[in-house]
Amino acid sequence: MPLKLPFQAKSQTKQTATKVCSNCRKLKASPRSGSTGIYDGRFRCTPVELSLAALRGCEICAFVQAALQQVLDTESLKKVDDVALVAVTLPNLSVGAVLQRFKSQDQSDKSIFMARKSAMKINIGIRDDAKYDNVINGRTYDIILKDGSKQLPWFQLRSAKSTALFGNTGSDSAADWVQSRLKKCLKTHSACRAIDASRSSQKSLLPKRIIDITNHGSIRLKETSGERDDYACLSHCWGKSKAFITETRSLHQYMDGIVWNDLPKTFQEAITFLRYLKIRYIWIDSLCILQDSEEDWLEHSGSMADIYSSAFITIAATRASDGTVGLFSETGEVEINNGKAKLLICEQPKHAHPGEVTSDRFPLLTRGWVAQEMLLSPRVIHFCNGELVYECMHEIMCSCCTLEDSSLGRDYGSKSQIWSSAVSNSTSSKHKLWSSTSTAQPVVTTVSEFGTKYQSEARHFSHWRQMISKYSDLNLTYEKDRFPAMSGLARRFSSNYGTTYAAGLWIENLHNDLLWVMPHRSKPEKRKVDAQAPTWSWVSCGSGTSSYMCDPGSSLYFSVLSVDCVPLSDHDPFGQLKTATLTLQGPLISLVLTPTRKGYDAEFEERGGITVEPDLNLNSVLKAANQNGLFFGLAIVRQESEVRGLVLYRQGNGNYERVGLWYSYSKDGYYQQNNPPEYWAAESLDEALQLRDREIVVL
């Protein structure tokens, strides 16, 4: 049904030429900064300004207002705060650089925008919750020309053929879109082809157990014996609903066959989609690992890196909070007809960038296990609300074309970095920053020497810390899984870069990795005991970890005497730990802590000027520890502007546990300007530390 344009018919009949307002004249296309061949134009206005312009006869404003009336209900329209019309033209959509001209009310020519087939978007800011008047949630709607329709007289829109509007993400056309991405990936992406070639000319070795889905009448669990073939993995949330699992007692039953109707909706739809792609096997953790066998679980945990990295593709149930939700969803386009062209309008899905921690729209991406599943899989298809997202070693592309339009899709994300050494020989020379030693001689050296000599490794370590900062915010049902859920990444990192792993840290990079810190938020009352992590590892304190990095030219006060990490299982040396001990040597000073608003201040030899960032709330032990002299500071690094070290608590057996990080700033620094002159500054504290004996500290 054609839309009724919300301006008066009388004023329209007086104006014979197409009329545009001053706002719409701002749509004149101009080159986008930092981009080649991309032009855009936009205007922004309030709903009142939009309505007034439409009433005065601006056909573009009338069209925008009518389009919003099609997709928003009355209550939502009342909450609209601002409206913007955005036109984006891309090189691959160009049909020529011809200026489209219109007659304005004064009959002079006005250049509006370049006549290219373009992406047309309507952005709105909407107040979704009246309790928070200052919170504006953005929504974006794409306007697309329906196939076979004439173009608008004032805007050259791209047609539905150039987009991927499937109607449903489980439709044949959706599967065709995935097939087209796969074909392009296999044919033109050098990084993806190199990964495939690195597996040898044969197909992948199948995991210990795999689900055979070739028979449309039934499916079955299969135990393999060296067979090779392409297979897919399913990445999904178990959720709170009862999971469909394999146990020892049901193993042989499922090997004979699994009843289709017994499978959760997500499993059914993943199998349906893979059958269209003609992939015979799928690996699903809950079905392929015996969930009542700790030995089987530990064995598979140790091989997780190989399972996901060898898969041809991973199906990600990104929108689903559990197995009952399913993969498929409607794309939600609405057909409109303004009397000049037949159009489709649909809300642009929200996009999650790699490493982004989200919850409402992408529950899968909040789960700790998913981090390595996404990073290690060569190719991932995300089933989101209303669209598909294809991610490989080369690019990330979405079916609504937003990532392509914004130039974010190419060479974006963590995959190429985590795989980089696997596809090149640039890091074939693998050295350590320093070697563990059993001597008691102190090591004082400079980070600049290490950084210059091992520049490529330094970048890898930096990438690891960034990844861990994101990973530490992800959720796990069982905190004991924190090490196993990243063991595949740790194994790959160690193999690629020749580094030595120790409870989430790297021995060759301890001068940086030991400087992790909990952010300024409420500190936990106690450690994550279930994580089975040593106190010197960030895993012991839970989420939100960040870290400092030594500056070039910094001097180290400490040396590493030994690191002894004993895994719980030989199947997974990067997984759960039985014991972990770190022995360091360096200058040790006694500290007395005083609570402050942000943490604690500390005194050494009755002089202040030392700030403490605690790992956890120390109030329960503060008084007794101060009275008995149980707090100590182990100096780690002297930088130009500060001295940093670990805050330690001495236990009854003489060993220490880490409880925080301490630092003292330079006397010329901002933070020391208001301190009394007798307080410690980095310069005076450094002199005192240089005179102290190096003590052996066991953590």
Q: What is the DSSP letter of 159?
A: B
Q: In this predicted model, what pLDDT tens digit does every residue of 257-282 receive, in sequence order? A: 999 999 999 999 999 999 999 999 99
The verdict on 671 and 549 lying in the same domain is yes
The verdict on 136 and 178 lying in the same domain is no
Domain end call among 404, 419, 440: 404
> Domain for residue 415, yes or no?
no
Given this model, what pLDDT does residue 461 score?
A: 83
Domain end call among 404, 429, 449: 404
What is residue 184's three-state secondary structure?
Answer: helix
Give the position of tokens 């990795």. Answer: 513
Given this model, what pLDDT does residue 193 score?
A: 79
Q: Which two tokens stand for residue 465?
A: 């810390």
The verdict on 463 and 373 lying in the same domain is no
| Start-end of H helices in 552-673 | 619-627
Contacts of 660 (CB under 8 A, 6+ apart): 599, 600, 612, 613, 614, 615, 618, 646, 647
Given this model, what pLDDT does residue 116 score?
A: 40
Domain end call among 382, 404, 426: 404
Q: Do residues 670 and 656 touch, judged by C-beta distance below 8 A?
A: no
The verdict on 123 and 211 lying in the same domain is no
Q: Do residues 112 and 25 touch, judged by C-beta distance below 8 A?
A: yes
Distance CA 119, CA 31 (A): 15
What range defines the domain where residue 551 resides?
459-698
Phi then psi for residue 540, to 5 deg, are: -70, -15
> Domain for residue 62, yes or no?
yes
Q: What is the pTM of this model?
A: 0.79
Given this model, what pLDDT does residue 344 score?
A: 80
Q: Which two tokens stand for residue 193?
A: 């082809």
The verdict on 572 and 635 lying in the same domain is yes
Cα end-to-end span (Å), the chain? 74
> Domain for residue 315, yes or no?
yes
> Domain for residue 131, yes or no?
yes
> Domain for residue 614, yes or no?
yes
Q: Do residues 482 and 531 touch, judged by C-beta distance below 8 A?
A: yes
Low-confidence ranges of the chain (pLDDT < 50): 1-17, 35-39, 90-117, 129-135, 354-355, 405-414, 416-457
The verdict on 502 and 618 lying in the same domain is yes
> Domain for residue 120, yes or no?
yes
Given this model, what pLDDT does residue 468 score?
A: 85
CB atoms under 10 Å from CB of 116, counted, come to 22
CA-wise closest residue to 490 among 661, 227, 305: 305
Distance CA 22, CA 2 (A): 26
**3-state SS string for 560-594:** EEEEEEEECCCCCCCCCEEEEEEEEEEEEEECEEE
In order of 349, 518, 636, the CA distances from 644 in angstroms are 45, 15, 6
Phi then psi for residue 438, to 5 deg, are: -95, 0
Q: Do residues 581 and 534 touch, judged by C-beta distance below 8 A?
A: yes
The verdict on 474 and 376 lying in the same domain is no
Phi then psi for residue 27, to 5 deg, are: -75, 0
The verdict on 200 and 250 lying in the same domain is yes
Q: Do residues 691 and 682 touch, judged by C-beta distance below 8 A?
A: no
Q: How many domains does the chain have?
A: 3
Identity of residue 259:
V
The verdict on 628 and 573 lying in the same domain is yes
The verdict on 273 and 232 lying in the same domain is yes
The verdict on 71 and 203 lying in the same domain is no
Identity of residue 128:
D
Given this model, what pLDDT does residue 472 score?
A: 85
Give the position of tokens 């439709």. Answer: 171
> Domain for residue 639, yes or no?
yes
Contacts of 515 (CB under 8 A, 6+ apart): 547, 548, 549, 550, 636, 637, 644, 661
The verdict on 255 and 364 lying in the same domain is yes
Q: Do residues 454 and 431 touch, judged by C-beta distance below 8 A?
A: yes
Phi then psi for residue 56, to 5 deg, are: -85, 0
Give the position of tokens 């970095």. Answer: 417
